[in-house]
Amino acid sequence: MTLKNTLSRKRGAVATNETARAEQSIIPALLSERDAAAYTGVSAAYLRRARREGSPGGRTSGPNFVRLESFGAKGGKNGGRVLYARVDLDVWLSGLERKRVI
């Protein structure tokens, strides 16, 4: 193996690591309701209902969420934006795992 080939391989490995780091920084830590629904495989309506109603009737409670309040021109609340942390979604999904019963 020549020095030229070795250097080009090392440059390729460095570029790959830089690309991986760049991709990780692009992936947001907080997901919108629609993105959280796609990530977890449930509907946005389910997340909305679970957030609003909790866990009545034996339904599984939803994942933790963050609400960013927004205020109107006159200072009144306009509801706000709901975001889900990817870590909270992973914890919620792992809590839904069913163990095999024999």
Domain formed by 29-95, architecture: Orthogonal Bundle (1.10)
Distinct helix (H) and strand (E) counts, the chain? 4, 3
As a whole-number percent, the residues of the chain with pLDDT over 70 amount to 54
pLDDT (0 to 100) of residue 7: 46
Backbone angles phi, psi at 59, to 5 degrees: -70, 150
**CA distance to 20, 83, 89, per residue, from 23 (Å):** 5, 21, 20
Confidence class of residue 95 from pLDDT cuts 50, 70 and 90?
A: confident
Query: Which pLDDT tens digit goes with each residue over 15-56?
Result: 555 665 555 555 568 999 999 999 999 999 999 988 888 765
**Within 10 Å of residue 40's Cβ, how many Cβ atoms?**
19
Q: How sure is the predictor about 6, in pLDDT bands with cuts at 50, 70 and 90?
A: very low
CA of residue 87 relative to chain centroid, distance: 7
Going from N- to C-terminal start, the domains of the chain cover 29-95
